[in-house]
Chains A and B, each alone.
Chain A
């Protein structure tokens, strides 16, 4: 969505249900997909999506809402909802199961890794630190644009560029290590 149009809709959405409806229509499937890739459960995805949009509704009506990247902000709320959900779920499992539990977003990482052609690259991706894995998954699997990524990760465009560059370099180094191990 065009950034100016989005900002205009957010302003109008404080009082105009049609404007909020347009934002909802544009982002629903994106946010739902983002959550579903991480939880792989329809009803959980629906609950978390509902929670995300409920928060969106409550926040756009506040005078102090920072109308910079509504989409990115939505992804951040969704991402936090997934993390909270995973943590809550962990409280309900035994210690034995806990060690095997996946990090939030690991299901998305698995899906991205499974689609990679090369085993070495797949293993290299899995060996990266969590923060770098998360960034690469959101960038390449969720297909978030720079503005959205900045909003989700809470950083500037310059910082994002540096972090993405470092993540790719780390991935390259990990591929090199994997190649040596195989040899």
Chain B
């Protein structure tokens, strides 16, 4: 019971004490949920630290740490360079590397030799250190290198002649490429939720990162990445792992350790592009192929290669096959990566091609103006999933599709052709219909590349469905200034649109840094009235409800016979229960009296609704009026 203390001071102190205690209890109650995710913390830290300038040293000479911590022998690897299952890599920020190496120096024995230290200075050999201590001449043991310029300067013309001659001889001996630096041959063109492991260090893969032989790229479960090697490139699907073994633009060698990748090959005459899956080599003779490596059985794996454009050959222990365009090969690997069983060769079927990963690659290649080969079949209109082109259903199909979603299709008219090294792909633009407000929610993957505040924006651009939206030129619904605002909700005027999000950078002119795929958005029609719902009580203990079928153009998944107490105006969209879910095309359904929710004597409101799932959300394309109904006695 509250008791007034004698003085104001005591009263206020008492209140403060209660608040302090309540704060402590409240913090304790939510403490577990207030701890940031470790991966998120490390990723953000690494991303921030990467933006810092390199450390200055006294001499202005940037220190270069060893590429891997001393004593590190690398992860255990399975055959063909594949890491052991369960190998865990931790995020390591730049300064952590230095700290780690400093720690290792303390642990290492005298054989460790020269050490890199967090203090960025060279230390003498352990043996030398001892000597230095004994003789008190430590400074003399530190290397001191100085430039020494000749006193007598040669005439300039002879210097020029000498340099030219040296370069000519060096070019002949080593080749011009070794003498004159060239642009990096391998770079990350796209990186979403992907990591780069180089030596012992794993960091998030950044767009534009230069890649080196031996690098390992891993793509997260929701990620994607594209690696360009010379004029060739490989798109890595979510969950894939690729080791870059050889990055000569004309002699590319990759090890596909896991997951799926789409390879687009462009090497000069006499060049090669080879992908290793364990001991089996897939060598491109043509320009496009897909390899899918996935678990099979208890501990084995299955690898399927698709020759999508021109030929593909595969070879391995007792294996040599050549696949013509339109053919596939499937091999199986045991737990120890040994080839197991026979190789299955088969033509690529339409079912195989009807695959989201291949469709996405087809769309991207189409936009880039590349020859599609077998994937060209995916570019033809698909009437079933395109509501405007779907023929009216005259009879019920055998198997109603559970969640029909309109999918994007390519524009039929010529469009600007971005090069493969153009904007980063942000993946799909998600559109969700919010039934409660009638608005659409657009969300996309956050752009992780460069972002200049006040100069870089997300633009939600749109066009009518027969054109590709692109800024500048296309109108837009939203312009968001923060990279962290990657969701937008608004009502959309009735229409049929192609929509995408673009990251526009206006720091130096207008540059599209990244963009999502184009998605079709056809606004939903108002719910169509189906008239009344009638009930037939002629059979005791049973009630047969019938209605007029929905014949609109939108694909619906089923009807729902929803019910609620009298006066409830039931709707599936607001959570009403249902007595039955008649399939597409049905116009009647019989309910047994006594079934759940249909007790004798119950006074119910009933209605039929044709429910579909456009834009990832349930929607009633049509519905009957409400039938006020009293359930008859059971038989």
Interface residues in chain A, defined as those with a beta carbon under 8 Å from any beta carbon in chain B:
15-18, 20-21, 24-25, 28-29, 32-33, 36-37, 42, 45-51, 53-54, 57-58, 88, 92-94, 111-118, 120-121, 136, 139-143, 165, 168-169, 171-172, 175, 179
Within 8 A of A (CB), among B14-51: 15-16, 18-20, 22-23, 25-27, 29-30, 33-37, 40-41, 44-45, 48-49, 51
The answer on a CB contact under 8 Å between B44 and A53 is: yes
Give me 15 other A-B pairs in contact (C-beta within 8 A), A37-B34, A46-B36, A168-B15 excluded. A15-B55, A16-B55, A29-B34, A42-B37, A46-B37, A57-B51, A92-B439, A92-B489, A111-B30, A112-B26, A115-B22, A118-B2, A139-B19, A141-B23, A169-B8
CA distance A121 to B1 in the complex (A): 12
The answer on a CB contact under 8 Å between B95 and A17 is: yes
Contacts of A142 in B (CB 8 A): 23
The answer on a CB contact under 8 Å between A28 and B41 is: yes
CA distance A72 to B44 in the complex (A): 21
- Given A15-B56, A140-B23, A143-B27; A32-B36 close (CB under 8 Å): yes
Interface residues in chain B, defined as those with a beta carbon under 8 Å from any beta carbon in chain A:
2, 8, 11-12, 15-16, 18-20, 22-23, 25-27, 29-30, 33-37, 40-41, 44-45, 48-49, 51-53, 55-56, 93-95, 98, 437, 439, 446, 453, 482, 484-485, 489-490
Contacts of A20 in B (CB 8 A): 48-49, 52
Which of A25, A93, A121, A143 meets B15, CB within 8 Å?
Answer: A121
- Given A121-B15, A172-B11; A29-B23 close (CB under 8 Å): no
The answer on a CB contact under 8 Å between B484 and A18 is: no
Contacts of B53 in A (CB 8 A): 15
**What are 28 pairs between A and B in contact, CB < 8 Å?**
A17-B52, A17-B55, A24-B45, A28-B44, A28-B45, A32-B36, A33-B34, A36-B33, A42-B37, A47-B446, A51-B482, A53-B48, A58-B453, A88-B485, A92-B489, A92-B490, A111-B26, A114-B26, A115-B23, A115-B29, A116-B18, A118-B18, A140-B16, A143-B23, A143-B27, A168-B12, A169-B8, A172-B15
CA distance A54 to B45 in the complex (A): 10
Contacts of A46 in B (CB 8 A): 36-37, 40
Closest Cβ neighbor of B118 among chain A residues:
A18
The answer on a CB contact under 8 Å between B35 and A29 is: yes
B496 to chain A, nearest CB (A): 24
The answer on a CB contact under 8 Å between B484 and A48 is: yes
CA distance A119 to B43 in the complex (A): 44
B215 to chain A, nearest CB (A): 23
The answer on a CB contact under 8 Å between B44 and A50 is: yes
